[in-house]
Structures are given as C-alpha cells and as structure tokens.
Structure 1
Amino acid sequence: MNKKIVLAISEHNLWGYVFQPVIVEEDSSGVLAIIEIATEISSEDIKLNDLSHKILTLSFSYSDRLLMKSFSKEKTLKAFLTKVPPDTINRYIRPCIDGYHRKIIRMLYSSKMELYHRSDLKSRNLWPENRIRVTEKPSQAVFTFKKDQESGLHYSICIEGESGVTDLYSKNCITLSQEPAAIVTDKILLFFDDIDIKKLTPFFTKKVIKVPSSSENQYLKTFVRNCLLKFKVNAVGVDIREIEPEKEAHISFEADWHGRPTLLMSLYYEKKKYPLDYPNKKIVMVDEKGEETALRWFYPDKRWENELIKLLLDNGLYQTGPSHFSCKEAKDIDFSGDFSGMVEWIRMHKAVLGAFIFSQNLFDHSYYLGEISMETNLDSGRDWFDLHCIVVFGNHRIPFSRFRNHILHNRREYVLPDGTIAILPAEWFDRYYELMLFSKNSKDAFRLNKSQYKLSEPFNEISFKISSLIDNQDLPDVPTTLNAELRPYQVTGYQWLVWLYKNGFGGCLADDMGLGKTVQTIAFLEYIYSQDCFEHLPSLVVMPTSLLYNWQNEIQKFAPGLKFYAYSGSKRVKSEDFGTLLSHYQLILTTYGTLRNDIDLLKNYLFHHLVMDESQYVKNPDSLTYKAVKQIDAKYKIALTGTPLENSLIDLWSQFNLLNENMLGSYNGFRNAYINPIAQEKKEREEALLRLIQPFLLRRTKQEVTPELPQLLEETVYCDMTQQQKEFYHKEKNKLRNRLLDEKVLAQPHQLSILTLQGLTRLRLLANHPILAEPDYDGDSGKFEQIIMRFETLRSEGHKVLIFSSFVKHLRILANHFDNEMWPYAWLTGSMTSAERDREIERFTNDPEIACFFISLKAGGVGLNLTAADYVFIIDPWWNPASEMQALSRSHRIGQDKNVIVYRFISSKTIEDKIRLLQEEKSRLAATFVTSGNPLSNLGRDEISRLL
C-alpha cells in the first residue's frame, strides 16, 4: 500500500475544529489507516503537488507550539495550554486559525487533497463515510422575508451552492471559520464571501425568526435594508422592489484640501449624492409613507460611471483620487495653486462637460469659463502697419495690447471688469510673444515696421492682407550686361536681393564660402545701376582689407561698366572734395578700418546701398567698428557672410540691427527672449527666432546646391599685402630689378638664370610672408590673414581642407598658429617615413576633429587618396601648373562623393600676380614651365621687366 497525506477535521479541546494533516495508507475497501500526524520531516518523502505543499505549510503554521510563541509569554507548552485565557482564545487565537483555514479552503478543491472528518481522535482509521465533499465556489445565503396577518414579519435562510439549495434546520454543523463563515454540514464543506457565522447559527435550531410587530418598521429600515445591501433577498408580503433609478452626474470645479485645482465628480441616484467609490454593490433606499415602510433597491450603473470616467481620461485629465480629476498626474501636481491649466481645459472641453451638471465652487473668486475670440483690423503706411485687435470675453471687449505685460512676463490671470478672472490661453504666450516684444504701441493698436511683417502670421487674415502689400511680383532676369553665367541658386540669390530692395528690406546673404556671394551681389548692383529711373546715389561696399583687391578684380571681371573708387590707403580723398568724387562713381569700396577712421567724414553722405562683406566683422555691438558702421546713412543695407552666427546669438542681433534697425528689438530684450532661453535648450524660442528672420536671411550650404556645382570649382583669392609687408617687398623688388637689368648680367645668360631664380624665389617668399625670407621680420602678412580667416569659417561649418605649399616653412608658420589656437591637424612632408605618412592619412580621414591637412608639394605629388576633403587651399603658385593639378587630384579623384572647391591664394601686385597673368595669356613663360627643366632659362629683358 502507498502512503499519502489527507486533511482531517478534528476538534481541539481548546481551539475548536481545526485542519490536521495525517499520513495514511488505504486498504482495498477504501479505509484509511492513520500512520501518524504529518510533520515537516515526515511528509518530505511523500509526493505532493504545489497546492498541497502550500496547504501543508499553512496547517503547520498554527501548531500549539507556534501559537504559544505568538500569543503567550509562557516558557513551556504545558503551561501555555493550561493557562491560556478564554478571552485570548476568542479574540486572537481562533481568529488567527480562521485566517489560515480560509486560505486552505480556497486551495482545497484545486489541490485534489482529500478531506475527512475525524470525529473520534482515538480511532486510527478514517472511513469512507467520513469523507467531506469540497466545493469549488463560495455558497450564497438567501434571506426570505415574509409578512402575513397571522405571523406578522418573519424570515428564514437557506444556502444556495453547487449542491443546490440547503436548509440548515436541525443539521449538525462544524464551524471552521466565523467571519466570513465556513462550515461543514451534510458532509459538504460550504464557505462564504459575505456572511458571518452569527447570522447562520440560529437557523440550525429554528426554521424562522419572528420580528415583534412593534419593531417591524425599524427592522425593515435596518436589518432588512442591510441584508438587501449584501445578500440575495426574497420577499413575500413585504414591499421590497428593484427599480430603474433616475441618475445624474455632477462635476464641480473647486480646490482640494491642498488648495490645488480639481474637478470633483459626484453621482446622483434618485436625487441622492454618492461618491464614485461607493463601496456597496447595491443601493437600498427606504421609502416611508405614513406608517408603512417600503424598500427600493438597484445596482449602481457601473457601465455608465466608467464611461464618464473614461470620457474625462480620454480628454486629457488624470484621476488623482477616487472622485478627483486633474490636468496633471498626481505625482506631478505641485502646491502652487495655479488654476490656469484647469480653467483652460474646462474652456476647451465644453462638449465633454455637457455630460455633467457643472458648477464652480471656489472659496473667494470665480473664473471666466466662456469663449474667447478676437476681432482684427489693419491700417498701413509706407513703411509701417498698425494692427488693431480686440479680445472678446463674453460681454467684455478689451484691446489685445492691454495683455502685453501679461504675455511678456508669463502671467496668465487677467481680472475682467466684473471681477471674474480670465485665464489667457497658453498658446498666446508662444504665438504672440514676438508681437508683444517687438511691436510699439499706437493707441490701442500694435505698430510694426515693414520688416516685422512676419509678426502678423498668427493672424491669418491680417497676415494675408500684409502679404498682399509686400511686393512679390515677377523678379527680373540677370542683367545681360553681366559677364557671368550664374548658376540657378545664384540667380535665386540675385532675385532675393532684388526682392529685398523693392520692399525696402535689409538682408543677409549667408551662403557657404565658395558659392559666389560676391558675384551675386555684383549682379544685383549691376541691376540697380542699370535702371533708367535710378537716382544717382553711390553705394558703399565695406570689407576687410584683405578683400579689397578681390572686389576690384571681380567688378572689372563681371561688371566692367560699374564705376568704382577704392577709398583706402594714405592717398584717399579725405577733404570736401569727397562729395564731388561721389558724383563720379557708383560704388565706393572701402575697408572696415578706413570707415572706422573716417566715420566723421563718411557719416555726412547718403548712400544708396551699404554692402557689408564678411559682416561678422561687425558682430560686436560694443566695438568701434560696429558703432561706426551704425552711423552710415544708407537707404538699403546688405550683409554678406558665410558665418552669420560665429560665436553666439549676439552676432545675429548685431548684424540684423544694422540691416533692419529694431527688427529684433533692444539687445537686452533679445537676450531675455532668445539668448537665455535657447541656451536652456528651449526649442520653441529657437523656432520662433528662425521664423522671424527667415525672409531676411538666405543661406545655402555647399551640400544643398551640390547638383548645381561643377565637380571642381576653382577660385583665385587675391590678398592685399599689409603696409609693412608691402614696403619690405617693394624695397627688395627694386634691388633685384636693378641687379638683373644690369648690362653685364644680361650678357651672361647662365649667371642671369641663376640670379633670376634666386631673386624671384626670394620675392615669392616675401609675397607669402616676409618672415620666410627674413627671420627677424616682426610684421604680419595679408595672405596669412586671408588663409586663417577662410579656414576658420570652413572649420566652423564642418568642412575638411587640404593646404598645399611648395615651402615647408610656409606650412610651419600656419601650423604654429594652429597650435596656439589648439586646432588639431595632420602633417605630411617629404621627410616622413611610409608608416608616418599612412598614420597621418588615417587620422585626417577618420578623425572628425581634424579639419586640416598640411601637405608639402614634394610629399603630395603622388600616391595619396584624400577624398575626405572638400576644400583645397593652394597657398602659393607653383612654377609647374601640372604640380597644382596633382595636388587637386588628391581630393578630386575617383571615390570623391563631394564637390571640391579650390582656392588659389595670390598676393596682389606681386610676382605671384604677374606669374598668374602670364600663365593666363599663355605666354612663353607658362609653356616653358611645362617643357623645361629650368623655367627661367629663356627669360630676356622684356620678360624680366614684366615680372618685376
């Protein structure tokens, strides 16, 4: 026979009936022989399922010894069992055992563990007739209330369960749990969810319980009503009916006990208020009519209640308590007493609140919860707009300009004339912020400069009207007199400049370096000075000194019909004759330094256009240069720069304050509105600023216009020497000229060739930087400044640059500057090993921080593949043009997926300039460079004169 464990119900002499696990063996007749009481040790070898294990563990939890530890200070079990007070048993021990019993009973059915009644503790057998059937689900007590003339009001109980209906009268009962009840009767274990043993006990000895006639009404209002709330009730001769209740949902806007805004939902059934967390499954109402008492009951409509809750949650509220709803989750609610979010939600969700009876119950004030609308109108002048706007709050009409301080200082509460508080819509504070910040008061209207027309965009109808006042007519073609074929993006830039001019706007052309900002501007100047009706006013073009020669060269190349005067240098006209001079020219070219020094003269004249090239030179509003440029009187203004924002947003404000004065407000206002918030990564402020400046800033990156660019774009950058460099160069040039043109030297071709090569090489070094030829030179170099300025711009834009030179020491001067600025670079000269060479190429290709690769002509001639670069600087012209093409091929070769822009840096009015001119004319010198080992061997008197 196999051993197994069953659960026996036995009566403890102190505790009452308890579950006791026993180890048994079953014989062929079904009789179980008890081997021993199960313990944790003795049950280890018997196979049990998981639930049976749990039942066993629970039954061990109320052993006499463990109960002693929990409920007594006695040291021995005998003393505990002898002295335990009845009160301790009734109040603590039996309820504790009942708790374990309820857990065991819930597991019994599923565990398949057998249950027996062991009525005789002396017997060692459990008989089949002692087996107790276990039910799966709880049973239900059913009360039947009857009233008739003979017996009056009386009631009885029966049990409905899996075995059908059970009558308790005259049945034996074993109590295993008192509240809720669990009993064994008729060999069936019955357990309940909702009734205690005290309500069942009388019916084991009585069929019915009679209610005294004098207590009937009170009994109906208390006991019967409570039975209706919890149990199934049958009624005969008693007025108890289920009804379909009248129902309403109320929602109240009020402050919770913390003073925070909340919506409090209440349910009304039959005009009586119930909270959302009403605990009873039924609602029972007492209906008294005279001496008669009736009961009406119904189930709360949970489906309706849940639909109301879902309606609020689906529309953005959070349930922060059983009946409370808020605009924020409970964990996010602060104690600031800010009611704006809830007021706005109420105002925007009137349709949702239509499902409720709404009320506002705040202590000492009330909020305006109606619609908010706007009425707008527009007046305009030549260069201004007046925007009239009235905000309508029900019967109140208030000029929108009255809310300026509220919007600028983020104050949402506005007290209306009747004392109610209006909450200004949250979207106003972003949508109208710029309007409030930049517009001026004009009575109750907003006055806008024409350049601020974008501020009207939040008002669709007004914005449309203003847009119709902006000249957007067909823009002109490029003048036929321009000696250049503009690419499509350059035509767009030219026409954009014309659009600015026709509308009286200033603007910033901010294309990437190398995309032709200068030629687009020259095309525009050619257009305005070709107009028959054009008033004769010259335009002032201001630039860094290093670009002066470039501008002269570009004008002569692309628009030779434009008359210009270079107002720079010691011989410039600075007297009263300057006014007369202006009448003879269309363009006055000058430098920022000259303008700053001569501002007392220049500020007295009116110019048609002020063109600021490399306008980042005036990015500092505290600088003397900025203050000087600010004094120039010009009808229209244009800025050209590849880096409109070099260091901070102050750069942007400074330039736009010159282009369209006050368009971005005061510096302090701009700092508070944009600089500080954007530094805190507030994206909406950044987007608002971009919208405002968008019409007046045109920027195309090299990547954006790649399809319109040739694979290889070459540009010559002419660099003016500094004054000190110029004097040094001309002194050396004159000495060399006199020496080479000496008759004795000319008569000796071999000596002439050597002297010429030495002398011209020295001049080339001086044209680059005098320190290359004279280590004691303590001045600067115009070409050096241009190279650094252009590289710095490209570096800020994320480009990679190859810098080639035939002189390693020229590269070293630049590298020293890079070291001082802590700009990382790669380096390659002919003296490096193959391994060093490969390492530098890998660094440049793969390290995004390295934007520059210095390469000497000797090292860069063959075997390099540097397609990571998209810009090439050739910083000194080479005798052999084929060597230049080899350098270009380092970046522009198979595998290059970017367009390559090449800058050739030439010091103007030096030997470099003249070599380039001779090459362009296809002179014998250029042909000689390609075919001869000594490019200067065939030079005669005329060629030497031209070079010097």
Structure 2
Amino acid sequence: LLSIRSLNPKITKNGRILCEVPPPILRYLRRKSQVKESENSKKLVIHEEPLKRRAEINYDPATGLHIKTGYEMPGFEITLPKSSLKVTPDGEYVKIGYDFFKYPREENPLVKEWIDAEYIHVDLDHVPEFFMRDLILMKLHFKAVLNEEAEKIRVIEDDFIPRISIDTGEKGWLDFSVQYQVGNYVLPHNLVERTQSHYLRLNETTWIKIDKRKVKELEKHLRELEIVRTDEGYRLPIIKFVSLEEFINQIGGIRVVSKEYQRFLDEITDFQYNEEYRLPPQVERDLTSSEIKLRGYQRAGIHWLNWLTTHHLHGILADDMGLGKTIQMITAMRLAYEDSKEKTHSLIICPRSVVKHWSNEIKRVYPTIRIYEYRGPNRDREVFKRAEPHMIITTYETVARDIEIIKNFPFFFVILDEGTRIKNPQTKRAKAIKRINCLHRFVLTGTPIENRPAELWSIFDFLMRGHLGTYREFIFRFERPIIDGDESAAEFLAKRIRPFILRRKKEEVEQELPEKIEMNEWCGLTEEQKALYDRLQKIKVSPIREALLKGKYVNYATSILPIITKLKQVCDHPALITGKKEPLLGRSEKFDYVANKIQQIIEDDESVVLFSHFLGTLDLFELFLRRKGIGYIRLDGSTRNRQILIDKFNERRVPVALCSILAAGRGINLTAANHVIHIDRWWNPAVEDQATDRVHRIGQVKTVYVYKILTEGTLEEKIDMLIEKKRDISDKVIGAATWGEPRWTREEILEILEPIST
C-alpha cells in the first residue's frame, strides 16, 4: 500500500484506486500472494531488453537524403519517433500497447542529437561525406534501413592517379590532356578543377573523393611548365618534352602517348645517324661544283641537324675544331629554307675573325641565298626589313650594340658560332642575344664547357630557356655536386642534355678526315693600327695611286713593294712600325688572336708551327711565349744548330716553333705539330705550301690544320682575293722586283692600294 501511495493514485467514485504502475512495482506486486491481478493486467509484459534504435534512410537523387530516426516497434518494420513514445514516470521504460520496454539511455551526444531530431535532411553536396563518416556510426548504434536508391550509393576513395595523354600537335608543339584515374573511372582535370567540394558527383548514385593535395601539387607543376591552355587541354613547345616527362614522374602519373609521340621519343633518345644521308639532287650538285665532299660523319651531322629543325628542337653541334661544323650547319639551314619556303632572314652571330669565312662558305653551299655582313659603322640597319630572305652575318659586339633594333625582327635561324661567348649570363652580350626572337636556335662550339658547368647553363638558357632550371637551381642541383664528385648529378645532367648535343672528336673520325684542312681566319684593326694605316695611306700611298690613275710609270720594286710591306706590318703589330713593344697585347687584333689560338692548341696537348716573313713579328711572339712560360724553338736565317732545335720540337719537349717562312720553309721536318699558322700571307702561295709541308709530310699521323690569318678591310683582304683569282701572282711580284718589268696590272695595284675600308 505504501508503494501504491508513492504513485499518486486517484480514487474513483466506486472506491477503486487508479494509478500508473511502473514495471518494477508491478513486478513486486505480482510476487505478493495477497494481490489479485485482473485478466487485463495479466496482459502487461515487462521486457528487460531495451528498445532498438532505428533509422530509415531514404535517398532522393534530386534532393538528397531524408532520414527518420527513432526506435523500432518490436515485431514491425516501423520507426517510432521519440516524441511518440509513452515513457514511464521514472523514465526507465516505454509502454507500447501491453508491453514495457527498457528505455535506452543515450550517452553518445551525436546519437542523442539524431534521436532528438527525429528527421534529418542531408543535401546532395554532403551525401558522400555522410556515407563515409556518419553512416558508419549510425550503423553502429542504429538499425539502419536504406531504401533501394540509397543502397545504390557508392563513394569511391581509390588512389587519385594523374593520367597524362600526349600527342604531337602542330609543328613544334606537344598537345596533352590531364585526367585522373580513380578505380575504373577517368576524370578530366578541368572537371575536377571546377569542383569546390571534396567529392565529385559522377551520376545520381556515385561520388568520387578528390585528392585535393594531389590536384594542388599537379597544378603547381603545370604552372612551372609554362603551358598554354587549349580547348582540348594543354600545349607546350616540343623542346620542353623532357620537362613534360619529368612532370609526369614528379606527380606519379600514368603516361598515355600516341604512336607519333612515341616514335619521336624513340628517335631522339636513340637517334640513328645516317652517314649516307642523301641531300636533294640540286644541293648535291652545288656542293660538288664547290668542291665540297661531305664525309660520312658530316652527312650524319646534317641528318641530325635537319631532324632537330624538322621537329622544332634546338641543339649544340660540338664537333672538335676543324671537323666542318660550318658546312654542316649551312647545309641544314638550306634544307630548312627550301623545304619550308620560308622568307624570314637568318642571323649568324660569330667572332669577327670568321665573318668572312661564313660568308665564303655560304656562297659555296647555298649560292642562291642573299648574304649581308652586318657590321662596321656603315652597316645598313634597314637590312632586316628587306623582303627577300638574307643570311645576315654579324658579330657578338654588334648584336650587343644594336639589340634594340634586332629584337624587333623575327628570324628563321639564329646561329651562335663559338657559342661559349655567352657563357657568362650576366654580360651585356649574353643578355642581348637571349632577347632575339627566332624559330630555330643552334650553337656551334668545340668546347661547350671551358671552365665550369654553369657555362653550359647559359648556352641552354639561350637554346631552351628553363630546360636546366634557373641559374640558382642549376648551381645547387648540378654544378656544386658535380664539382664535389657526385657522379649521379653528372649523369643526370648528361641525360638531360644528351638529345640536344652532337659531339664527334677528331680521333673518332680521323679515318674520314682529309690529310690537311685549310682555313682563313679574319680579324680587324685596333684604333692604333687604323691610325698608322691611314697615315701611311695619306703620306705614301696616295701619291702613288694618283700617279697610277694618271697613267704615269711607277717602279714596282722600289716604290710599291716597300709601301705594301709597311702596310702588312701594321696589320701584324704596330710595334713593327713604331718600335714601341709595350704593351704587347691589346694593340693588334691579329696578334692577340694568334696568341689566344696558340694557348688553345697547347691546352689540347697539341703542337703548332708559326710562319711569318717578318722577323720583328717573330720577336714579338718570342716575347709573348717567354712571359707565358711556354717552351718554343725559333728557326730563322741566323739560327745555328738547327737540327738540335728541330729534334727538340719533334720530341715534343716544346709545343711551339717560330719560323721565318723563307729560312724554315723547306728542307726540314716538323711533323710533331699538326697545326700551322701563317701569320701573314706570302706573295707566292707555293712558298706557303712548301712551308706548310714542313708539317704535312710523310711521318705525319694526324690531320693538319692550316690557318691563314688575314685583316679585313686592308690590303691583306685584296691580296688574298688576287691570290685566289690568279695563282701566278708570285711571278708578277718576283718578276717585277728582279727584272724591273711590271707584271701586275694597273687595276690590281690600285685595288691593293685602295684606302682602308670603313
């Protein structure tokens, strides 16, 4: 009775007591024998197991998830919301019909939140996140019932693997698309890029989780590639194919390549040089008529250059000196011009000493192309506007001065001869050249690296900007490790540049080389030389020219030859005229050029013979060699113990022989050398040939390189032209001196004594 009283009962009119009896009291009363229970009361059942939580998850593809939460009605697939439950006053049981069930205690805050909510809506953007996180917890605490559409939902969290599809596009370009392989699905990058959420909805029931970190990393590398966006994907210059391949490796991507691109890769990584490469018939005929016989390695070089040009790639032809780089390059340029019908000019930038050499070789290889030597104070700056294509030959110094003009014109080719002249990227010269706009870029050099690896970076910065990273990156990634002996860094650098460099050494092709290669090297006059030359012309030459122009007789031996000799001495060195030997360097371009050539030859562990017909010139070189600590012998008319000196040279105890062309031009053997320098031209080419034969004779096992050093714009240039036109000039000069009989024509003398060229 006390237990009943605690339930706050109500007394009816007929005296009955009414109250809600909680299960614990009911269970207690049922144990008392004095308590009688009605039939209806007996129907009440007390269950000790708690009600089961239930969640009905319905998916509507248009609106998202609709979730009802509550408790499952025992024996029925019905969800009872919390608000519909009849809870006993003590809060321990729930009465459903005649049954009492334990009321679950919700200790988990999220479960309690869901039960209290009774209805939850998850919009489409959050469906995948719910399925990957909340649904797992819901299934742990609820009986989760998904409708048919919800059962179909799939959220894919497989690896997010970039997939790069590459094809060769327009000439000079690579087209590629970026996708992502996720399981069996392939997603376009632009679709992923536009998705703000962490999940991409593929269809009504499928989402893919986006690896934002992977996408961000890929986009960072894409920006570094400096790509161009297209409607289909991306595009970048074909010269950056190595960067594209590295990009794929960096992002852990899958390569999908077209047959054309794979063929391109196969060819460039293992290029098969064709030493029997045939040129168009007219080109072959022109070469033959110019007495140019291409050797197998040269045909292979032209094949390589033409392949690079066809694929809009750039490169370095790094053959050893004397292997005919100029001929190979001009031939490849001609093939490109004739194949493309291009009307744009080409620019050849070279040392002043070889401008004439380039001009002459172009005439031999490509006789129909127009040539213009762009240099000197009277250079025509309008040449770049001419309609017909020209091969414009200029110097590094001229380009540096005129870059504000040159940069405004596009070129078909830009060729750098002796390209190491831009090895220092901070120089005005290098900066200017890298501003030039062109389609094809090539560098010719026998020494791509002279002192340090960073020189190679500057060359590639001209050829393919960014291919070796920034200058700072190159120093840290390559130069410092290589200098420290890191072979892996050296190998990686070699692998990166290998497709763009062709180098053949003399010893590799020596069986194909001719016995003798002759080259004319050109230089100019310094201001001091110009002043001396001009003074001689005014004082000595002008009266003679006036006399000749008036038809007067002039004695060749006594009047003309001494003046010609003085003018030639000015070209060698001002000291031969002024008697002032100091300073030795910086006063004669020819002297400085030969001095530098000697040092290059010695650095290659080879020997050289210098010929001059001025003893004063030999004196100056003797002084230079002593100061440099370079061993030498000297052979002239006053030399005694000649054979001892000759043996010393041939035994390679000294690398230089200074020779008077008349005193040492015959009867001796100097085969230890394979370089001959004629500092000044002798009147009779036969005398030069005899002197050269001191080196080029039986016992010589190497190719002999013969350099004739000429000063442009002076009588040396005129004499060289006459020697080539009339090989019997010796008879004219010597005959005039010996017999007093004029053997030169009046026109030839006037040409030789023509005032200095400006």
Give the TM-score, by structure 2 length.
0.62
Question: 1:632 deviation in Å?
Answer: 0.9
Contact 1:549–1:720 under 8 Å retained in 2: no
Partner in structure 2 of residue 567 of structure 1:
374
Q: Is 1:642 the counterpart of 2:450 in the alignment?
A: no
Change (3 A) 1:658 1:442: closer
Residues in 1 aligned to 2:606 and 2:434: alpha-carbon distance in whole angstroms: 33
Match of 2:495 among 670, 682, 691: 691
What's the CA shift string for 1:544-600, capped at 9, x where partnerless? 2222232223323332311122222112234xx4653x4344222221111111112
Q: Which residue of 1 aligns with 2:37?
A: none
Q: Does the aligned pair in 1 maintain the 2:685–2:727 contact within 8 Å? A: no
C-alpha contact (below 8 Å) 2:165/2:257 kept by paired residues: no
Q: Which of 273, 279, 298 in structure 2 is aligned with 1:477?
A: 279
Partner of 1:379: 166
Q: State the identity %.
A: 31
Residues 743 and 569 of structure 1: CA distance in aligned 2, closer, same or farther (over 3 Å): closer
The count of residues paired between Structure 1 and Structure 2 equals: 529
Match of 2:635 among 807, 828, 847: 828
Aligned position for 1:947? 752
Q: Provide the secondary structure at the position in 2 that maps to 1:668.
A: helix
Match of 1:539 in 2: 346
Residues 1:548 and 2:355 aligned together? yes
Instruction: Look up the match of 1:737.
Output: 541
Give the equivalent residue in structure 1 for 2:611: 804
Shift of 1:799: 2.6
Distance 1:914 1:936 in 2: 23
Matches of 1:746 and 1:639, distance apart in 2: 52
Quote the Cα distance in structure 2 between the aligned partners of 1:863 and 1:578.
Answer: 52
Shift of 1:631: 1.0
TM-superposed deviation, 1:854: 2.1
Structure 2 residue 379 is the aligned partner of structure 1 residue 592:
no
CA deviation digits over 1:208-232, x for unaligned, max 9?
Answer: xxxxxxxxxxxxxxxxxxxxxxxxx
- Is 1:873–1:904's contact at 8 Å kept on the other side of the alignment? yes
> 1:838: Cα distance to partner?
1.6
RMSD: 4.1
Tell me how far 1:470 sits from its aligned partner.
5.4
Q: How big is the shift at 1:747?
A: 7.1
1:838-857 to 2 correspondences below 5 Å? 838-839=644-645, 841-842=647-648, 845-847=651-653, 850-857=654-661
Once the two structures are superposed, what CA deviation does each residue of 1:871-906 show, in whole Å capped at 9, x if it has no partner? 111111113333322321221121111111211122
Q: Secondary structure at the match of 1:707?
A: coil
In structure 1, the residue corresponding to 2:651 is in which secondary structure? helix
Separation of aligned partners in 2, 1:877 and 1:942: 21
Match of 1:490 in 2: 298
TM superposition score normalised by structure 1: 0.50
Q: How does 1:622-633 map to 2 (within 5 A)?
A: 622-633=426-437
SS of residue matched to 1:866: coil
Contact 2:316 2:443 (C-alpha < 8 Å) held by counterparts: yes
- Alignment match, 1:522: 330
Unpaired runs of 5+ residues, structure 1, are 1-371, 393-398, 400-434
Q: Show CA shifts across 1:826-846 (max 9, x none).
A: 4333333207x6246425633
Correspondence for 1:450: 238
Corresponding position of 1:794 = 601
Deviation of 1:519 after TM superposition, in Å, equals 1.8
Question: CA 1:442–1:563 in 2, change beyond 3 Å: closer, same or farther?
Answer: closer
Out of 665, 668, 682, which is 1:864 matched to? 668
Alpha-carbon shift at residue 446 of structure 1 (Å): 13
Select which of 243, 255, 263 maps to 1:468. 263
The aligned residue for residue 320 of structure 2 is 512
- Provide closer, same or farther for how the CA distance between residues 476 and 934 of structure 1 changes in structure 2, counting only shifts above 3 A: same
Counterpart of 2:309? 501
Secondary structure, aligned partner of 1:833: coil
Q: Tell me, what secondary structure is at the counterpart of 1:664?
A: coil
Q: Distance in 1 between matches of 2:624 and 2:327?
A: 31
Mean alpha-carbon deviation: is it higher for 616-625 or for 691-700? 691-700
Shift of the 447–920 alpha-carbon distance from structure 1 to 2, 3 Å rule, reads closer
SS in 1 for 2:411: strand
Q: Trace 1:47-126 onto structure 2 (pairs within 5 A).
A: none
Distance 1:923 1:803, change over 3 A: closer
For the residues of structure 2 that align with 1:554 and 1:726, how far apart are their CA atoms?
A: 28
- For 1:908 and 1:804, the matched residues in 2 are separated by 20
Distance 1:658 1:734 in 2: 46
CA contact (8 A) 1:740 1:752 kept: no
**1:772 corresponding residue in structure 2:** 576
Q: Which has the larger radius of gyration?
A: 1
Relative to structure 1, the CA distance from residue 498 to residue 754 in structure 2 (aligned partners, 3 Å threshold; closer, same or farther) is same
Counting only pairs closer than 5 Å after superposition, residues 873-888 of structure 1 correspond to structure 2 as 873-888=677-692
Deviation at 1:612, TM superposition (A): 1.0
User: 1:618 offset after TM fit, Å?
Assistant: 0.6
Q: 1:440 to 1:763 in 2, by over 3 A?
A: closer
Deviation string 1:63-121 (CA, Å, 9 cap, x unpaired) is: xxxxxxxxxxxxxxxxxxxxxxxxxxxxxxxxxxxxxxxxxxxxxxxxxxxxxxxxxxx
Please give the residue correspondences for 1:343-358 in structure 2 after superposition, counting only pairs within 5 Å.
none
> Which residue matches 2:509?
705
Q: CA deviation at 1:386?
A: 6.0
Question: How far 1:787 moved relative to its partner?
Answer: 2.2
Amino acid at match of 2:577: A
**Partner Cα distance (1:782, 1:505) in 2:** 36
Aligned residues of 1:757 and 1:936 also touching (Cα < 8 A)? no
Deviates more, 1:704-713 or 1:552-561: 552-561
CA distance in 2, matches of 1:935, 1:550: 37
Q: Secondary structure at the match of 1:755?
A: helix
Deviations 1:677-702 (A, max 9, x none): 22122223222222221221112222
Greater relative contact order (CA < 8 Å, ≥ 6 in sequence): 2
Q: Contact conserved, 1:610 with 1:634, CA < 8 A, in 2?
A: yes
The Cα of 1:659 is off from its aligned counterpart by 0.5
Matched, 1:608 2:412: yes
- Cα distance 1:446–1:528, how it changes in 2: closer, same or farther (>3 A)? closer
Q: Which amino acid aligns with 2:492?
A: A
Distance 1:585 1:551, change over 3 A: same
**2: distance between equivalents of 1:723 and 1:755?**
27
Tell me if structure 1 keeps the 8 A contact 2:732–2:743: no
Identify if the C-alpha distance between structure 1 residues 462 and 924 changes in structure 2 by more than 3 Å, giving closer, same or farther.
same
1:172-211 mapped onto 2 (5 Å cutoff)? none
Q: Are the structure 2 counterparts of residues 504 and 441 from structure 1 closer, same or farther at C-alpha, using a change threshold of 3 Å? A: closer
The 8 Å contact of residues 541 and 590 in structure 1, kept in 2 or not, is answered as: yes
Q: Which letter does structure 1 place at the counterpart of 2:335?
A: Y
Residue number among 549, 560, 563 corresponding to 1:759 in the alignment: 563
Q: Could you report, residue by residue, the CA deviation over 1:451-484 in whole angstroms, capped at 9, with x for unpaired residues?
A: 3545749989879964424595997615344543
**3-state DSSP of counterpart to 1:736:** helix
CA contact (8 A) 1:879 1:935 kept: no
Question: Would the alpha carbon gap of residues 821 and 506 (structure 1) be closer, same or farther in structure 2, given more than 3 Å must change?
Answer: farther
Residues 762, 534 of structure 1: CA spacing in aligned structure 2 closer, same or farther, 3 A cutoff?
same
List per-residue Cα deviations over 1:20-52 (Å, max 9, x = no partner).
Answer: xxxxxxxxxxxxxxxxxxxxxxxxxxxxxxxxx
In the TM superposition, residue 629 of structure 1 has moved relative to its aligned partner by 0.8
Partner of 1:673: 477
